[in-house]
Amino acid sequence: MAYLGAAYLWVKAAHLIFVIFLMAGLFMIPRFFVYHQECAVGSDEDRKWIDREQRLLKIILNPSLVLVWVLGLMLMVEIGAWSFGWFHLKLLFVLGLSGYHGWIASYAKKLARGQRTMTDRQLRLLNEVPGVAAAVIVIAVIVKPF
Distance, CA of 69 to CA of 47 (rounded, Å): 31
Q: pLDDT tens for residues 59-86?
A: 999 999 999 999 999 999 999 999 999 9
| Helix or strand run (H / E) with residue 21 | helix 8-37
Q: Which residues are annotated as a binding site for heme?
A: 15, 90
Mean pLDDT of 9-31: 97
d(CA 81, CA 83): 5
Question: Where is the binding site, in residues?
Answer: 15, 90
* Predicted confidence (pLDDT) per residue in 36-51, tens digit: 999 999 999 999 999 9
Mean pLDDT of the chain: 96
Q: Is 128 exposed, middle or buried (0-12, 13-18, 19+ CB in 10 A)?
A: exposed
1, pLDDT greater than 80: no
How would residue 103 be classed by pLDDT, with cut points 50, 70 and 90?
A: very high
Nearest-5° Cα angle at 65, 60 to 70: 130
